[in-house]
A = this chain, B = another copy of it.
Amino acid sequence: MSGRLSVVGLGPGADALCVPAATAALAAATDLVGYGPYLARVAGGQTRHASDNGDELDRARLALALAESGRRVAVVSGGDAGVFGMAAAVFEAMEAGPEAWRALDVEVVPGISAMLAAAARLGAPLGHDFCVLSLSDNLKPWDVVCRRLRLAAEAGLVIVLYNARSRARPDRLGEAFALLAQVLPPATRVAFATAISRPDESVAVTTLDRADPSLADMRTLVIVGSAATRLVGPFLYTPRSLP
C-alpha cells in the first residue's frame, strides 16, 4: 500500500462547521496524528498518535515517517491547518527531512478557521481589508510583533490576533493594546471571541480604552477593529467602503 498524508482542519468545534472533505479524509485514514484534544473530536477506529501541545515539528516528522512507511495518515488541526495550524510544520519537517518525504502524496484540506468562525458569530468585522497576526513570541521576536501591530494600525487594517494570551505570556495582550492605543482612537472596537461554536462559547465587544486582557484565555481570538468598525444592533461589522 502506498502511504499518504492529509493535513486536516477540523474547524472551530461544531460538527456542522467541519467540511465534508475533512470528514472523508479522517475516515480514510489508518492513523491520526495530533494534539490530544483535537483527536478526541474525531470518531472512528484509526490508530491514534496523540501528543501534547507545542511539539508540532515532532508531530509532523512522525506523520511523514508513518506515510513513508505506507500508512494513510491524517494530521489533525483545529480550525484551518494552514492558519497557525499544523500545515506549515509539516512542510518545515519535509524540507529538513529525507528527500523521499518530498515525493509523498500530501494534501491539505482546508477548514473553517477560528477567525472566520469568530467573524461570523460577531457579524462581519472582516468585511474590509484586514491582517492576521500571531501574538506569540515563541517563533518571532516581540519587537517584530510590535512593529507589525503598529504598521497594521497605521494602514487602517482590522487586526485579528491569534495566540492572544497564553499562560507563559500573560502580559503580551495588554502590551499590544497599549501599543495600538498610540495609533488608534480610544473608541476603536475590540472583540473577544472564545470557543466559538462549542457549548461554552462566549463573545464580548468593547472598546480599545476599556479592553481587559483578562477576557482572553488560550481559546480566545481577539479582533481589533479599524476606525470604521461599528455595531448595528448586536452585530459588529466593518463596512466595505472607506468612510
- Give chain A's interface residues, CB within 8 Å of chain B: 7, 11, 14-21, 24, 56, 80-84, 87-92, 94-95, 102-103, 106-113, 116-117, 119-121, 123-134, 139-141, 144, 147-148, 151-152, 154-157, 232-233, 235, 237-242
Contact = CB atoms under 8 A, between A and B. Distances in A.
B11 A17 contact: no
B152 A155 contact: yes
A124 B108 contact: yes
A60 to B, nearest CB: 11
B110 A17 contact: yes
A50 B239 CA distance: 23
Nearest to A124: B87
Given A18-B20, A19-B19, A91-B237, 4 more contacts: A87-B124, A89-B240, A116-B116, A147-B155
Contact of A110 (B15, B103, B116, B131): B116
Contacts of A11: 19
A80 B125 CA distance: 13
Contacts of A123: 87, 91, 108
Contacts of A109: 120
A232 B98 CA distance: 12
Given A232-B94, A233-B94, A17 B19 contact: yes
Nearest to A89: B240
Contacts of A88: 124, 127-128, 237-240
A169 to B, nearest CB: 16
Contacts of A151: 151-152, 154-155
Contacts of A133: 129
A153 to B, nearest CB: 10
A237 B93 CA distance: 12
A81 B237 CA distance: 12
A139 B241 CA distance: 4
A186 to B, nearest CB: 22
Contacts of A56: 240
